[in-house]
């Protein structure tokens, strides 16, 4: 599961943000970007993954680390559910699918989403971020 390549990806990811490669950060980084794909996690979910992977990291550290990754620009917090925070390894504006049934968050293929123009922003303000969340429900048919 934790191949040398995955480890290298995690290491580079941390180095890129000048974050000290501690055992915990390396473990979490590898879980997050080890396979080269984007990932959407909750703190609880990542904590569980770290346990399953055999590297246990305390929940508080998972929270602190996710915050550190966000502060460093490696991740972004995504607000889709009032009761949990989600964190995304992809840091540009892009639409999400949120499955309300099981709480899964995934990237929506952006190609087909087209925002022609944004509403005019009030005087004195600038756009920090545009979030598009497409909430899905299992079809009842």
Report the interface residues with its own copies, using CB under 8 A.
77, 79-82, 84-85, 95, 97, 99-100, 108-122, 124-139
Cα 55 from Cα 30, distance rounded (Å): 11
* Site residues (CB under 7 A) for DNA, limited to 30-49: 42-44
Which class for 28: exposed (0-12), middle (13-18), buried (19 or more C-beta within 10 A)? Answer: buried
Among 11, 61, 133, 136, binds DNA (CB under 7 A): 61
What's the residue count for the chain?
141
Binding segment (CB under 7 A) for DNA, from list 53-61, 89-97, 98-106, 111-119 = 53-61
Cα 43 from Cα 8, distance rounded (Å): 23
Binding interface with DNA (CB under 7 A): 19-25, 42-44, 56-61, 63-65, 67-68, 82-85
């Amino acid at each position: 599961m934790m191949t040398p390549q995955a480890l290298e990806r995690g290491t580079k990811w941390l180095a890129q943000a000048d974050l000290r490669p501690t055992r915990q950060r390396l473990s979490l980084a590898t879980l997050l970007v080890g396979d080269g794909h984007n990932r959407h996690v909750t703190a609880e979910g990542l904590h569980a993954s770290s346990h399953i992977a055999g590297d246990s990291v305390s929940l508080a550290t998972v929270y602190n680390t996710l915050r550190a990754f966000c502060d460093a620009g490696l991740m972004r917090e995504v607000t889709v559910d009032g009761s949990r925070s989600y964190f995304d390894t992809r840091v540009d504006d892009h639409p999400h699918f949120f499955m309300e049934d099981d709480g899964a968050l995934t990237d929506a293929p952006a190609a087909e989403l087209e925002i022609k123009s944004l509403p005019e922003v009030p005087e004195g303000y600038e756009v920090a971020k545009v979030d598009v969340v497409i909430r899905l429900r299992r079809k009842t048919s």
